[in-house]
């Protein structure tokens, strides 16, 4: 069997939600072209309302596209809907665990729904991998929020799909659990599973994803390897510690400034337009004496802001 080049391929994907009595027509996806390479950890990033869930719901068969084509693992969702759906596991945003099933039963039922024969089920393997082995026979209502979330990941993997989609997986999840979840996701990826992750936590995408697409208002505004995306953006920060700590970031003509801890401030500049020399000259020009300086690479927040002309607020 030849493997597809792309885990997911969307061409000219449009979704228009029809008008209702209280809302006007809404074009949530305005012609999305997106290819997700096989084997990647791919980040789908964007503010609330960008269209991420709509895109994922179309992949999962929960929402009907208006036009365009989508293939999952080389299977067109119109021509081979069942095969396409079998190729993905989706971990939804909301925890929807059945309180009356044990984790073991929950996975067995899920596997049954996908028609996985008993001999091919990996119930205990999945539970162990997600640190739920000793909870296999507990009632789901006895599990903590974090355990329930891990159970959702296990459920999405029962039919062994080559593509796993995690929709805002760490919203409201504590740091420790987040690390555990990522360790398992990275392990799955090492074993060949393509991971698609939607998030508006920029740091998360930056740390985990090898490719990132930024979506805003139903359009892809950037789609590149994470490193390229960062390198393309020539924003740099210089953090200046003045001899006399400041309580307000100084105003420097031509530069953005932000107050930092301990009386320091950051000055951002674009390498294509100015230099550290010019930043320092501007600081001195404002009558400040420099005690120390440090340079910083940009984070995705800077990248995002400069790529989207009118970004909606990011509530990360
Ligand atoms: P995201 O997941 O990036 O936050 P969504 O895909 O949920 O974005 O939403 C994209 C746009 O489509 C938003 O403006 C949202 O209000 C609208 N939308 C989402 N679902 C529906 C729906 N069922 N009916 C009408 N409009 C919707």
Is residue 222 located within the same domain as residue 310? Answer: yes
Work out which ligand 1 atom sits closest to the CA atom of 55: 6
Would you say residue 304 has pLDDT above 70?
Answer: no
Residue 308 pLDDT level (bands cut at 50, 70, 90): low
Confidence at residue 40, expressed as pLDDT on a 0 to 100 scale: 96
Most informative mutation of 49, 63, 65, 168 for ligand 1 (most atoms within 8 A of CB): 49
Is residue 316 located within the same domain as residue 193? Answer: yes
Residues with CB under 6 A from ligand 1: 17, 26, 28, 46, 48-54
DSSP per-residue codes, the chain: -PPPSEEEEEEEEEEEEPP-SSS--EEEEEEEEEEEETT-EEEEE--TTSSHHHHHHHHTTSS--SEEEEEETTEETTTSHHHHHHTEEEE-SS----TTS-HHHHHHHHHHHTT--GGG--HHHHHHHTT-GGGTTS-GGGS-HHHHHHHHHHHHTTT--SEEEEESTTTT--HHHHHHHHHHHHHHHHTT-EEEEEES-HHHHHHH-SEEEEEETTEEEEEEEHHHHHHH--EEEEEEEESS--SSPPPBTTBEEEE-GGG-EEEEEETTT--HHHHHHHHHHTTPPEEEEEEE---HHHHHHHHSSSPPPP--
Distance 15 CA to ligand 1 centre (A): 10
Is residue 312 located within the same domain as residue 178? Answer: yes
Is residue 117 located within the same domain as residue 151? Answer: yes
The domain of 285 spans 234-297
Is residue 117 located within the same domain as residue 228? Answer: no
83: in domain: yes
Residue 168 pLDDT level (bands cut at 50, 70, 90): confident
Is residue 182 located within the same domain as residue 225? Answer: yes
Distance 88 CA to ligand 1 centre (A): 22
Is residue 139 located within the same domain as residue 268? Answer: no
Is residue 191 located within the same domain as residue 255? Answer: no
**For 35-92, what is each residue's pLDDT tens digit?**
999 999 999 988 888 899 999 999 999 999 999 999 999 999 999 999 999 999 999 8
Is residue 214 located within the same domain as residue 307? Answer: yes
Work out which ligand 1 atom sits closest to the CA atom of 54: 6
Is residue 13 located within the same domain as residue 78? Answer: yes
């Amino acid at each position: 069997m030849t493997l597809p080049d792309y885990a997911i391929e969307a061409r000219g994907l449009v979704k228009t939600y029809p008008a209702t009595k209280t809302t006007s027509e809404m074009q949530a996806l305005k012609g999305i072209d997106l290819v997700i390479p096989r084997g990647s950890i791919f980040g789908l990033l964007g503010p609330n309302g960008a269209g991420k869930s709509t895109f994922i719901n179309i992949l999962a068969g929960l929402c009907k596209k208006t036009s365009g084509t989508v293939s999952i693992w080389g299977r067109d969702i119109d021509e081979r809907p069942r095969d396409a759906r079998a190729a993905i596991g989706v971990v939804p945003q909301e925890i929807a665990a059945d309180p009356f099933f044990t984790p073991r039963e929950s996975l067995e039922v899920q596997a049954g729904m996908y028609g996985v024969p008993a001999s091919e089920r990996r119930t205990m393997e999945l539970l162990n991998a997600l640190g739920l082995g000793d909870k296999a026979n507990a009632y789901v209502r006895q599990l903590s929020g974090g355990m329930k979330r891990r159970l959702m990941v296990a459920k999405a993997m029962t039919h062994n799909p080559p593509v796993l989609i995690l929709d805002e997986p760490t919203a409201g999840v504590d740091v420790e659990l987040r690390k555990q979840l990522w360790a398992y996701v990275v392990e799955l990826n090492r074993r060949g599973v393509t991971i698609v992750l939607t998030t508006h936590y920029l740091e998360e995408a930056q740390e985990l994803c090898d490719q990132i697409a930024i979506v805003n208002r139903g359009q892809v505004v950037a789609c590149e390897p994470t490193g390229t995306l960062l390198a393309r953006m020539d924003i740099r920060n210089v953090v200046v510690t003045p001899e006399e700590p400041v309580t307000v970031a100084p105003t420097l003509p031509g530069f953005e400034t932000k107050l930092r801890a301990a009386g320091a401030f950051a000055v951002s500049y674009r390498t294509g337009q100015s230099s550290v020399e010019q930043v320092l000259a501007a600081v001195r020009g404002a009558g400040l004496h420099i005690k120390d300086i440090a340079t910083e690479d940009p984070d995705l927040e800077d990248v995002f802001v400069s790529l989207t002309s009118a970004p909606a607020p990011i509530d990360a």
